[in-house]
Structure 1
Amino acid sequence: MNYLAHAYLSFGHPDILAGNMMSDFIKGNKKNNFPILIQQGIRLHRLIDQYTDEHPATLAAKQLFKPQVGLYAGSFMDVVYDYFLANDEQVFAAEQQLAHFSETVYTVLQQYESVFPEKFTPAFQHMRTHNWLLHYRNKQGIERTFEGLVHRAQYLQPPIALLPVLENNKAFFQEAYQQFFPDVIQFASKQLAILLNEL
């Protein structure tokens, strides 16, 4: 999952949110350098990613990206899921609710700046300055995110026009989101309960 979904699937728990959002910048056992609750957030992030990658809806939907981006298709599906989450009226009834949620996430994360992994610091600054979480709601924001992924990918050569893949297959991706997201909410909630009970 991408940033918005990981934030949402932290279920309002500050330490879990911090670990969940920083996880991609923390390799292997370096998670053990963090306070235990942040460690559990890192673990939750990794469990969610594995579940997402293996879910039948994701496996089917990412085939639409594979002709252009190959093994990176899963990363682009993560962004697609964030787009549909940002526009899910059952979660964020209007843009105002998403804007409030986004600002709350930034405010909470700011409190953990002293423990940010080095490379997460500039990422967070860009995230907040350009309000990534809110802008997943519109196609311009998704297009910029796609472009950023292509630019950072070691084996992709920009430019690659990927927004048309979303636009031309929107109904298919919407169905994938509707199949997947209730499942991942249930999964993440259960896993978080297990992780917290381990403490």
Structure 2
Amino acid sequence: MNYLAHAYLSFNDQSLIVGNMIADYVKGKHWQEYDRGIQQGIQLHRAIDTFTDTHPVTLAAREYFQASCGRYSAVFIDIVYDHFLATDTSIFSEQSLSAFTKQIYHTVAQQHDILPPVFQQVFRHMQQHDWLYGYRFMDGIYKSFSGIVHRAKFLEVTADAPFEVLKQHYDELADHYRTFFPELVAFVKTYPH
């Protein structure tokens, strides 16, 4: 799952939100340097990633991207799942998504001084370009794909390749999300924290 899902799966707990958002930028045992609530958010993020990455539905969804994106297919699926979450009318309306993303930015910004330095830069771009709300739109997804392609050292395709996969298999990927996401929500609700 990507940033929007991690934020959503924190269920409005401010410490969990911060920990869940910064987890990929907290290496080794540095998570122990944070307050207990943020530590729990980091651990929750890692549990969500493990659940997602090993789930049979996610593994099947990755297959669509395998030919063009290889081992990066997992990263593209994370963004695709965020797109389907952002457009999931059982969870968000356009207005409620906008309000939710503003609240997430506010919550994270309040903890700016304790954010990992690399995440501080990422967060500035995230907020400035409203990534979380942008996942709702295909051009926002394309921009996210472009960012991955730009940063990926061993991926020799343009963002057009995974974007074409998404467009070609949009309905099937949406079905994968609808099968998978309720199971992930149920897992998080029973996760100890």
TM-score using structure 2 length = 0.97
Instruction: Judge conservation of contact 1:151–1:157 (CA < 8 Å) in 2.
Output: no
Equivalent pair of 2:22/2:116 in contact (CA under 8 Å)? yes
Tell which deviates more after alignment, 153-162 or 82-91.
Answer: 153-162
Q: Give the equivalent residue in structure 1 for 2:146.
A: 147
**Counterpart contact for 1:68–1:160, Cα < 8 Å:** no
Other-structure match for 1:27: 27
Amino acid at match of 1:120: F
Cα deviation digits, residues 131-190 of structure 1 (max 9, x gap): 001000000000000010111112113424121111100111011001100000010111
Structure 1: stretches of 5+ with no match in the other structure: none
Q: Following superposition, which runs of at least 4 residues in structure 1 exceed 3 angstroms of deviation?
A: none
CA contact (8 A) 1:62 1:74 kept: yes
Alpha-carbon RMSD: 0.8
Identity of aligned residues (%): 42
> What's the counterpart of residue 131 of structure 2?
132
- Residues 18 and 41, structure 1, Cα contact 8 Å, conserved in 2: yes
Query: CA-to-partner distance for each residue in 1:21-70, whole Å, 9 max, x for gaps?
Result: 00000112110111111011000000000000011110001011111111
Find the counterpart in structure 2 of residue 122 from structure 1: 121
Residue in 1 that maps onto 2:90:
90
Q: Report the residue type matching 2:120 in the other structure.
A: T
Asked if 2 retains the 8 angstrom alpha-carbon contact of 1:79 and 1:142, the reply is yes
Aligned to 2:4: 4
**2: CA distance between counterparts of 1:59 and 1:108?**
33
User: What is the number of equivalent residue pairs in this alignment?
Assistant: 192
Runs of at least 5 residues in structure 2 that lack an aligned partner in the other structure: none
TM value normalised by structure 1: 0.94
